[in-house]
Amino acid sequence: MAEEFRVGRIVTLAVLCIAVVGPIALLVLHALPRYPSPASVLATDPSRMSLLDLMLTAALRTVGVSAMASAISLPSSLIAAFGLARLGPVALTVVVLVLALPMFLNVLVVILAWLVILQPDGAFVWLTTVGFAQSLLDALRHSTLASVIAIVNVLIPVQTLLFIYSIKQRDDSLVDASLLLGVSRARTFWSIDLGLLAPSIAGVWAIGTLITVNLYLIPEFITGPKLTMLPFLIQQAVIQKFDLAQAARLAMVTMVVTLVPILLARLVQLRLGGRG
Amino acid sequence: MIMNKVARLSLGVVSMLIVGFVMVPFAVVVGVGLDESDGLVFPPRSLSITSALRVFEEQNWRDAIVLSVLVGLFSSLSAVTIACLAMLEVRFAANAIWRHLMRSLIILPAFIPTIVYAVGLVIMKDHTGVPAVLVLTAGHAILAVPITYLMIRVGDARLPQSMVEAAYLLTGSFRSVVTAIVLPRLLPFFGLGWLVALAISLTEPILAIFLLSDGTATAPQLAFSGLRFRFDPLIFSSGAVLSLLVVMSAVTGMFFWIRVSRHEA
């Protein structure tokens, strides 16, 4: 049967190789041959030390922000998933739709909304008249916390949908068996409900960090230069400096940075003995 | 027992609060975008679709939205075609290596940060001289391919293998099986995948920022360019227009889903 599909196979493989593997291969070729070791760079051009410092700082910040935001959104997503997974099919479809909307509108809408919310004397100034502390809005403005909250806002729908999927895959008879054997509801929840989800939690956290790397515009617009992430340095290298070699090098570092949480999650999943 | 009910009720309330928190940005942007006054007012004093449509009165915004829709249409159709071909390969290929290779290639873009892929596309555009809009369309298609493929696979998994085998035994033609059984049964899932791919393309800013100039920008790209300099109410109008387009896609998607459910019932 498959032989009749030979043309389709060749076309699909060709398209995927050209459009997926091609750009990444070109990127690697562009970055690696010219990539000198940090020591040689400093020996030949001490002024580049600041660039390396900047890259290292941004890389650490990227790892920190993405790991933190993903970890912060996990409990809310889990609670929401446990609550929503109990709904009937029609209500669940509507909720999935409601969660899917912000998922697609994420970056632009979240940035616009938070800029309005945090704008001094802006659209949300009425909050102060109903007892909402002005000082809280002032403290949030241009803070790291504001960006993290905005990123969490984007991550929750994705993580909730993934958790709902995992909960739906679970065998409910295990919970029933545990309760019939006289195990308390709390212990059953801890050992069965959360225990079975543990590999998924690691996987969903890793996916959250990966998504956060793509949300680098949020910290840039909401907090400003003090929270510049690695991808924004890439954008500057391409758009402002037209330096594709530097952009390619930074992109390689970004790839490594995003691989770390994925590998960590995979290790945790292997230790827990689940696929996640 | 009462504790259980209280716990369930609390869980339900907290879940709804979290869903509400997720919807806040959406409500703010649509509210501000549809407000009739010129300033950034929330809650809106009077809602009107005409205030969102002001965005079409400006030439650069009109061009940007038209370009976004065109790129979205072509990239989403390409994504569905690639995902469909990959699904057929995964379903029918006799060789397991081919199946694994295809599955890995089709899911790979989900694990590459968009920014890294964007730099790769810029280098490719510079090397090949392909027009930026074409590269952007291909890039959006590839970004949407993993999720489109997964949606089509959901439908494919519901298609009984015995039905496909029986059809092949009766017709003896792979082409007949695909055109008469597989593709028609998966049509709603193609629709869903297409809508998701369209929504991804309509709202994706990073590839456009890297590949296009401000003169030939897509709507999200123009919004980000504008945000750097000032608070333009038209940015919110465009945000509201894009949001409404995605809502329309989502509602149509729900229609497809209900059709699938009814069909299966």
Contact call for B15 and A213, based on CB within 8 A: no
**Which chain A residues are Cβ-neighbours of B41 within 8 angstroms?**
123
Q: How far is B93 from chain A (nearest CA, A)?
A: 5
Interface test with B, best of A15, A78, A175 (most B CBs within 10 A): A15
Query: Is A130 in the B-facing interface, judged by CB distances under 8 Å?
Result: no
Question: Phi then psi for B217, rounded to 5 degrees?
Answer: -90, 155
Structural contact between residues B21 and A156, judged by C-beta atoms closer than 8 angstroms:
yes
**Which chain A residues are Cβ-neighbours of B153 within 8 angstroms?**
none
Provide the 10 A C-beta neighbour count for residue A144: 17
Confidence of residue A276 (pLDDT cuts 50, 70, 90): very low
Tell whether the model's pLDDT for residue B213 goes beyond 90.
no
**Which chain B residues are Cβ-neighbours of A32 within 8 angstroms?**
none
pLDDT digits (tens, 9 = 90+) for B27-44: 888 888 887 776 667 777
**Which chain B residues are Cβ-neighbours of A194 within 8 angstroms?**
none
Q: How far is B206 from chain A (nearest CA, A)?
A: 9
At residue B263, the pLDDT reads: 64
Contact call for A255 and B112, based on CB within 8 A: yes
When CB atoms are compared, the residue of B88, B111, B124 closest to A26 is: B124
Confidence of residue A1 (pLDDT cuts 50, 70, 90): low
pTM higher than 0.90, yes or no? no
Query: What is the ipTM score, two decimals?
Result: 0.83
CA A6 to chain centre: 38
For residues A53-68, give the mean pLDDT.
88
- How far is the C-alpha of B42 from the C-alpha of A122, rounded, in Å? 9
Q: How far is A228 from chain B (nearest CA, A)?
A: 14
**Any idea which of A48-52, B19-23, B200-204 has the lowest mean pLDDT?**
A48-52
pLDDT digits (tens, 9 = 90+) for A75-132: 999 998 988 888 877 777 777 777 776 666 667 788 888 888 877 766 666 666 666 6
Structural contact between residues B33 and B223, judged by C-beta atoms closer than 8 angstroms:
no
Provide DSSP, B162-193.
HHHHHHHHHH--HHHIIIIIIHHHHHHHHHHH
Q: How far is A88 from chain B (nearest CA, A)?
A: 13
Identity (one letter) of the amino acid at B172? G
Contact call for B28 and A117, based on CB within 8 A: yes
